[in-house]
Amino acid sequence: MSSVHGFSSTAAVALITGAGSGIGRAAAIQFADAGCNIVAADINKVAAEETCSLIKDVECLAVCCDITQPDQVAAMVAATKDKFGRLDYAFNNAGISGTAAPVHAMPLEEFDRVLSVNLRGHFIAMQAQIPLMLATSPSPAIVLTSSICGHQAHAGMAGYCASKFGVRGLVKAAAVEYGPRGLRVNSVSPGAIATPLLLDFLASGGGDTVKQLTEEGATLDDPAGCSAATAAPTQAGPQGGAATGPSGSGSGKSSSSSLDVGSLNLADAPASAEASAALSSTSTAAAADESSKEEGKLKVPLRRVGHPEEIASCVVWLCMHGHYVTGTDVLVDGGSTCRVMTSSD
C-alpha cells in the first residue's frame, strides 16, 4: 500500500456520532458522497445500520455506542482502527435536549444528564479519537455540534444552554492544544432544524413550557406551574438524537440534531401522531414550518426552519476544505441570532 508522509493513501475515514438520523445521518451521506469511508455510530444500532444502507460506493461500518460510556467509545474507535486503519474526520454530533424547566425547579439529575451527554460525552469521544487521528491522518479535523443555545440563553433550558456554551469552550481549548500538530477543531451551531427530535419536543409539551417561561408577566413562584416537559429520549438523532443520541442525531440520552428551538415560537405543538409520521426531512420541515407560520410567529429572518443537509454541508466543508479554520463556531441558523430578543421570545 502506497503512502504519503507516512500516511495511508486509501480513502479518508469519517466517524459520525448520532448518525442514526437527522443531522448525523445527513452528514454521513454527504461525507460518503465526498468519497469517505464511514463509521456510523448511534446509541440505536438499527438506526445506524439504516444509515449505512443508504450509503453507496464506499464502505460503512455501523457501531452501537453510548457516548457517555468511555468503554463503548473506546470500542467504537478501536472498531474504526480495525476496519479502516485510520481516522481523518470526526463529527461528534450526538446530544439530547433534556427537559424544559426553570433553574430552581430542574432536578439536579436532569441537569447532570444533559451535561453528561452534550458536553462530557464529546470530551470522552475526543479523548479516544485524537490519538488515532494524529497517528493516521495527514489532515485531521473534528467538528462538535453546539447550538444557537450556545450563543443566546433561552428560558427553561439552563442545562441545555450550559452544555452548548461549554462545547464552544471545549472546541477553543482543543484547537489551541492540537493546532501545532495539524488537528483542526471547530463546532457548528444549528438553529431550528427540521428533525423528528424537534417535533417530538413540541409534541411532548416542551414548547409550551418554554413559552410559559418567556411570556410577559409569567411567574416562576410555582414550580408545579412550570413542570418540566421531557423531550424524547435520545442522543441526537432522528429518534431524538445523541449517540449517539436524539436531537437529530439516539437512547434515552439523545444525540445530534441537538434540538435547537430558540428561533421558533413553540406555542403550537403538533400531535405526537403527526410527529411520529414525519420521517423525512422534507415532511418534517413542512410540519415544523406549518406549526410556526400558522399565526405568523416564525422568528427566523429567512422565514423557514433549516434542513439537516444544510448543517451537514457545513460540517463536511469544515473537515475537508476549511484547512485554515480552527477554534471557531459556525452558526447555521437562518439569521436567528441576528435578531434582537424581546420579552415574547
- Segment 179-223, tens digit of pLDDT: 999 999 999 999 989 876 676 666 666 666 556 555 544 444 443
CB 300 within 8 A of CB 263: yes
Task: Label residue 272 exposed, middle or buried (CB < 10 Å: 0-12, 13-18, 19+).
Answer: middle
Binned at pLDDT 50, 70 and 90, residue 252 comes out as very low
Q: What is the DSSP string of 176-229?
A: HHHGGGT-EEEEEEE-SB--HHHHHHHHHTHHHHHHHHHSTT---S-GGGG--E
**pLDDT (tens digit, 9 = 90+) per residue, 261-280?**
333 433 333 332 223 233 34
**pLDDT (tens digit, 9 = 90+) per residue, 132-186?**
999 999 999 999 999 999 999 988 999 999 999 999 999 999 999 999 999 999 9
The pLDDT, as a whole number, for residue 247 is 38
Indicate which residues carry an active-site annotation: 160
C-alpha cell recorded at residue 252: 434515552
The pLDDT, as a whole number, for residue 195 is 79
Global model pTM greater than 0.85: no
CB 204 within 8 A of CB 229: yes
The DSSP symbol for 60 reads E
The CATH number of domain 12-332, selected from 3.90.480.20, 3.40.50.12780, 3.40.50.880, 3.40.50.720: 3.40.50.720
> Domain boundaries in the chain?
12-332
pLDDT at 253 over 80: no
Q: Please tell me the number of Cα atoms within 13 Å of 67 on its side-chain side.
A: 48
Residue appearing with cell numbers 426552519: 305
Distance of CA 244 to the CA centre of its chain: 9
The DSSP symbol for 118 reads I
Q: How far is 336 from 77, CA to CA, in rounded Å?
A: 36
Task: Label residue 273 exposed, middle or buried (CB < 10 Å: 0-12, 13-18, 19+).
Answer: exposed
Question: What element of type H or E holds 168?
Answer: helix 158-178
What is the per-residue burial (b if ≥16 Cβ within 10 Å, else e) of 212-240? bbbeeeeebeeeeebebbbbbbbbbbbbb
pLDDT at 8 over 80: no
For the segment 8-18, the average pLDDT, to the nearest whole number, is 87
Average pLDDT, the chain: 78
